[in-house]
Amino acid sequence: MIFINGFTDDLSISNSFSMKKLFFILLIFLGISYVGLSQGVGIGTISPSPSAILDIKSSTKGMIFPRTSSSTRIGMTGVKGLTVYDTTMSQLYYHTGITWVQIATGPAQNNYWSAFGSHIFNNNAGNIGIGTVSPAHKLSLNGDMYITSGTPTLHLGGDGDADVARILWQLPSNDTDFAITQSLNKLFISRNSGALGFVSDLVVSDNGYIGVGVVEPLTKLHVEGGSDVGNASGGFLQLGSSTSTNVGFDNNEIQARSNGAVSRLTLNYGGGGVQIGNATTPAAYQLSVNGKVICEELKIQDSNNWPDYVFGENYSLKNFDELRNFIDVNHHLPNIPDAATIEKNGIEIGDMQKRMMEKIEELTLYILQLEEKTKILEQKVEALRQ
């Protein structure tokens, strides 16, 4: 082994032993192959690669870079390409001509980067930081990131526009592009419609409004576009599974369905009443409508105390004098509310139907009484004629 620490300033070589011969002898002792000025120098090989100025080959030994402490390294005069091993940091550094840059990272005697086939991975048990020395998560990125490999593509960044942040990815199954874009105080989720370009399907405004099919949502949830609600279509909005119970909405309809067929729509089941229009719903009622109601059929189901009791043997039907006196005093029929009461409280259709039926049945009895008296009078008149 030969150790060369340098030559002293007063080293001299005799004329009879030229510098060229000394250099050649040193090469032999050092095991260095020298192949002309136009080719490289080989250590451990007599055939250095023609593309390398220095070709070092060994299967049992490595190469040691110049070693120095951090303080000494930092005090060096920076030359572009200068490379040293920092013994304080246990890391390789090279100089750019402006600053020192780490070649390898990680604490002493730890190699966090490993290779497996064509893959490289990090076995660091802590966090990884890119652009930050204090990563708070498994991967902390300070700055933009651009990843592309054909399909799919993930892009985080502004595309040169500070007001735009975009994520793009492509689904290989149907070759469809989607984009999430932030622009003009809105977040857009868009799809690629081919020749038409990206179409914004979902918009979130800075005021919290969400638009589906509309770029300028005017309320908390603004939906535009869709089919007319029907048995087989979801309308503009569908709640629930198409193969089970669901509710469909379009711009002016609500429809309940069950597995594609029209089903019962229940409002406020188990809760309070339902109001339509600017109405109030008293506690005892389930539906309040401010305005007129029209329908082809209305069923009032109230089977209690239907007035067939009028035709019972024990029913006390007022005679004509009693009825006449009651009307003269009260100005309404017996068991019928007066006008002031109805004006104040309204009427209940089911109850009023029973009261009216009571009067109709009483009227029928009065007619039958008159018919009986008429027969008697006719018999008397006929007898007088004979």
Taking CA atoms, 336 is separated from 7, 108, 310, 341, 352, in Å, by 133, 102, 15, 10, 8
Does residue 157 sit in the same domain as residue 210? yes
Structure tokens at 129: 């930081």
Residues 217 and 251 grouped into a single domain: no
Locate 150 and state its tokens: 């054909």
Task: Indicate whether 289 belongs to any domain.
Answer: no
According to the model, what pLDDT value does residue 72 have?
A: 94
In a domain, 136, yes or no: no
What residues are paired with 337 via a beta bridge?
A: none
Which CATH number fits the domain that encloses residue 85? 2.10.10
| pLDDT of 373 over the 90 cut | yes
Q: Are residues 15 and 72 in the same domain?
A: no
Residue 7: which pLDDT band, with cuts at 50, 70 and 90?
very low
Q: Which of the listed residues 63, 98, 117 is the one where a domain comes to its end? A: 63
Q: Which amino acid is at 52?
A: A
Domain that holds residue 369: 307-385
Among candidate residues 40, 74, 106, the one where a domain is terminated: 106
Helices (H), the chain: 19-30, 70-75, 320-330, 339-345, 349-385
How many domains does the chain fold into?
A: 5
Q: Which of 176, 195, 224 represents a domain boundary (last residue)?
A: 224
Token pair, residue 91, equals: 């890391």
99 and 87 inside one domain: yes
Is 201 domain-assigned?
A: yes
Distance between CA atoms of residues 257 and 235, nearest Å: 12
Cα maximum dimension of the chain: 190
Question: Does a structural domain hold residue 141?
Answer: no
DSSP state at residue 228: P
Single-letter code of the amino acid located at 181: T
184 and 235, same domain (yes or no): no
Instruction: Please name which of 259, 256, 222 lies closest in space to residue 239, comparing C-alpha atoms.
Output: 256
Asked if residue 251 lies in contact with residue 239, where contact means CB atoms within 8 angstroms, the answer is no
- Count each helix (H run) and each strand (E run) in the chain, helices first: 5, 25
For residue 276, list its beta bridge partners.
289
Domain co-membership, 88 together with 153: no
Whether residue 313 is found in the same domain as residue 251: no
Q: Is residue 138 part of a domain?
A: no
Residue 56 exposure: Cα atoms within 13 Å on the Cβ side = 6
- The residue among 95, 113, 115, 96 whose CA lies nearest residue 104 is 113
DSSP character string of 154-180: EEES-TT-TT-EEEEEEETTTTEEEEE
- Output b/e per residue, 243-258; b: 16+ Cβ within 10 A: eeebbbbbeeeebebe
Paired tokens of 159: 């595309």
Q: What is the pLDDT of residues 306-345, one digit of tens each?
A: 899 999 999 999 999 999 999 999 999 999 999 999 999 8
Distance CA 297, CA 134 (A): 75
- Which stretch of 100-114, 158-172, 287-301 has the lowest confidence by average pLDDT? 158-172
Q: Would you say residue 268 lies in a domain?
A: no
Sign of CA dihedral 293, 299, 301, 305: positive
Q: Closest by alpha carbon to 34, among 66, 3, 22?
A: 22
Per-position DSSP letters for 171-206, written without gaps between them: ETTTTEEEEEEEETTEEEEEEE-GGG-EEEEEEEET
Residue 114 lies in a domain: no
Shared-domain flag, residues 164 and 230: no
pLDDT digit string, tens, across residues 230-254: 776 778 999 998 889 999 999 889 9
The residues facing 261 across adjacent strands are 258
pLDDT of residue 285: 82
> Is there a domain that residue 128 lies in?
no
Taking the C-alpha atoms of residue 288 and residue 278, their distance in angstroms, rounded to an integer, is 9
Residues 243 and 311 in one domain: no
Single-letter residue type at 213: G
161 with 215, same domain: the answer is yes
pLDDT in tens, 172-210: 444 456 667 777 778 887 776 655 555 668 889 989 999
When mean pLDDT is compared over 87-96, 145-154, 323-332, 345-354, the highest value belongs to 323-332
